[in-house]
Amino acid sequence: MSLDFAQIQKTSLIDFPGEVASTLFTLGCNFRCPFCHNRSLVLPDEYPPQRITPEQALAELSKRKKYVQAVCITGGEPTIHPELTWFISSLKNEGLKVKLDTNGSNSKMLSELYQKELLDYVAMDIKSSLEDYDESSGVQSDIAKIKESVQLIRSSGIPYEFRTTVVPGLHDLEKIEAIGKWLEGADRYVIQSFSPEGGTLDKSFETKAPFKDKNLQAFVNTAKPYFKEVMLREYY
> Residue 217 falls within a domain, yes or no?
no
Side by side, the strands of the sheet bearing 160-166 are: 5-12, 21-26, 70-74, 97-102, 121-125, 160-166, 188-193, 229-233
CATH classification of the domain holding 105: 3.20.20.70
The string of pLDDT tens digits covering residues 2-56 is 899 988 999 998 899 999 999 999 999 999 999 998 877 888 777 656 789 999 9
The string of pLDDT tens digits covering residues 52-71 is 999 999 999 999 888 999 99
What is the chain's mean pLDDT, rounded?
A: 94
> Residue 108 falls within a domain, yes or no?
yes
Domain hosting 136: range is 5-169
- pLDDT, residue 49, reads 64
Q: How many domains does the chain have?
A: 1
> Residue 202 falls within a domain, yes or no?
no
- pLDDT, residue 66, reads 87
- pLDDT, residue 99, reads 98
pTM of structure = 0.95
Helix, strand counts (H, E) of the chain: 8, 8
Asked if pLDDT for residue 1 goes beyond 60, the answer is: no
- pLDDT, residue 235, reads 60
The string of pLDDT tens digits covering residues 154-208 is 999 999 999 999 999 999 999 999 999 999 999 999 999 998 887 899 999 999 9
Mean pLDDT to the nearest integer, 132-148: 97
Asked if pLDDT for residue 115 goes beyond 90, the answer is: yes
> Residue 185 falls within a domain, yes or no?
no
Q: Rounded to an integer, what distance in angstroms lies between the CA atom of residue 124 and that of residue 122?
A: 6
* Residue 17 CB-density burial (10 A; 0-12 exposed, 13-18 middle, 19+ buried): middle
- pLDDT, residue 207, reads 92
Mean pLDDT to the nearest integer, 220-227: 98
> Residue 204 falls within a domain, yes or no?
no
> Residue 98 falls within a domain, yes or no?
yes
Q: Rounded to an integer, what distance in angstroms lies between the CA atom of residue 99 and that of residue 104?
A: 14
CA-based nearest residue to 86, from 67, 101, 73: 73
- pLDDT, residue 48, reads 59
CA atoms within 13 A on the CB side of 144: 1
> Residue 68 falls within a domain, yes or no?
yes
> Residue 181 falls within a domain, yes or no?
no
